[in-house]
Amino acid sequence: MKIAVLALQGAFYEQEKVIRELGAECLELRQPKDLSKTFDGLILPGGESTAQGKLLRELNMFEPLREMIRGGLPVLATCAGLILLAEKSSNDDRSWFQTLPVTVRRNAYGRQLGSFHTVQDFGGMKDIPMTFIRAPYIEKAEKDVEILARVDGNIVGVRCRNQLALSFHPELDSDRRIHRMFLENIR
C-alpha cells in the first residue's frame, strides 16, 4: 500500500515516519507530476492552511487533487489539512477544497490556549492522546458527517465518506491507533 503525503509545507515528515513505521510506503506530493503516480490514500498534514492552499494553486496541483478527493480517494487530514477540506470557515473568507461539509473555526483556542495536550475517546477508541497546535475546531457539521470526538464540547474529529479529519496532531504522539484505522479502512 502506498500513501501520498502533501509535502509543500508543515508537518509532513512526521506523517511519513508514522506511515513507514506501520509498514506502508510513502510518496511525497511536491509538484504536479507527483500526482500521476499511483497511491491508495492521501495525508494532508498540519501546518499553515493559507500557505498550503496558495502553494497548491500556484503549482497547479489544486484542481487535480480536489478531483481525486471528490472521486473517493481516502484522505487523512490533520489541523491545517482539516481547514483545507472544510466547506467553509466562520472566521476566514478563504476556503479551499470544500469537500467536507463542515464549518471550521481557525485558531479557535486563542492565544492563551494556543497549544495544549489532552486525552479523549475517539470513535470507538478509548483514551487517544491529542496534541493541539493553534488548532481549528469544527463549529458545525452537516448531517452526513459522523462526529468521532469532542473536546470541551467542540468537535475535533469527523469522518465523512472517504475523509477522516482531525483538529489535532496524532503523528506527534506515540499512539498509532488513528493512523492504523486509516490504513485498515483503505485495505
156, HSE (Cβ side, Cα atoms, 13 Å): 27
Q: Which of the residues 14, 171, 179, 184 is marked catalytic?
A: 171
Binding site for ligand GLN (CB under 6 A): 46-49, 79-80, 83, 106-107, 133-135
Q: Which of the residues 16, 26, 169, 179 is marked catalytic?
A: 169
63 is catalytic: no
Per-residue DSSP letter, 126: E
160 is catalytic: no
CB 52 → ligand GLN: shortest distance, Å?
A: 8
Cβ proximity to ligand GLN: between 83 and 165 the closer is 83
Cβ proximity to ligand GLN: between 7 and 135 the closer is 135
171 is catalytic: yes
Q: Which of the residues 21, 25, 48, 79 is marked catalytic?
A: 79
Pair 164, 138: CB distance under 8 Å = no
Pair 162, 73: CB distance under 8 Å = yes
Q: How far apart are CA 100 and CA 24, in angstroms?
A: 26
Instruction: Please name which of 162, 153, 9, 169 lies closest in space to residue 100, comparing C-alpha atoms.
Output: 162
Q: Which residues belong to the active site? A: 79, 169, 171
